[in-house]
Amino acid sequence: MPATAKICGLSTPETLDAAIAGGASHVGLVFFAPSPRNLSWTRAAQLAARVPAHVQRVGVFVNPDDALIEQAVAAGHLDILQLHDTTPERAAAIKARTGLAVWIAVAVRTRGDLDAALTYTGVADKVLYDAKTPPGAALPGGMGVRFDWRLLDGFRHPLPWALSGGLDPFNVAEAVAATGATLVDVSSGVESAPGIKDLGKIGAFLRAVNDL
């Protein structure tokens, strides 16, 4: 299979189960209070307990402090920490403290934005190229914003990477063909409203990825 998928921002047992049944390789649990996908510790634990060993649990954070990470890791039995708006120094400290794999989200609008990935060499285990959300936006991700995939043409990736931002069941095949991504990430593209995951859209997205 040329690509696998992370379904991000899951918050109910039904939609989590649909992602797992559809073949997602990763499920994303958001720990950021302003997000409509933010999880309580109780809900995170409830969801984490349903995830089989072959599917990885990714905690999504925005420049988190140690207390937040510790509580989220404990509740969500996280395998991977996905960090937004977090410096290389802080990401390195988080990785050293937790011993967990770290993914760094790099917000992309221009070719120059990609260079931020270089600064995480030796720190992050993977780069998630995500679209830069508009200035003043409430969230740095999960807003269905897409960047120009051609920006990745010829870029020498310093780390393993994944593609995110504005993907949906209808464009994900084109996105993989255009970029060569081997891991794709989606949130609002499989929702019916912000924070409300749609069983049909999750299934359609994963079928599109599985059919590649």
Ligand X SMILES: O=C(O)c1ccccc1NCC(=O)[C@H](O)[C@H](O)COP(=O)(O)O
Window contacting ligand X (CB under 6 A); options: 46-54, 155-163, 185-193, 197-205: 185-193
Between 4 and 164, name the residue whose CB sits nearer to ligand X: 164
| Binding flag, residue 141, ligand X (CB under 6 A) | yes
Q: Which residues of 122-153 are buried (b: 16+ CB within 10 A; e: fewer)?
A: ebbebbbbbbbbeeeeebbbbbbbbbebebbe
| Binding flag, residue 78, ligand X (CB under 6 A) | no
Q: Is residue 211 among the annotated active site residues?
A: no
Window contacting ligand X (CB under 6 A); options: 48-56, 141-149, 171-179, 200-208: 141-149
From 8, 24, 152, 206, residue interacting with ligand X (rule: CB under 6 A): 8
Q: Is residue 125 among the annotated active site residues?
A: no
CA distance 169 to 212: 12
Kindly tell me the number of DSSP H helices and DSSP E strands found in the chain: 6, 10
Shortest approach of ligand X to residue 63 CB, angstroms?
A: 10
Q: Which residues of 55-84 are buried (b: 16+ CB within 10 A; e: fewer)?
A: bbbbbbbbebeeebbeebbebbbbbbbbbb
> Binding residues for ligand X, per CB under 6 A?
8-9, 28, 30, 32, 35, 37, 60, 62, 84, 130, 139-145, 164-167, 185-189
Residues with catalytic function: 8, 130
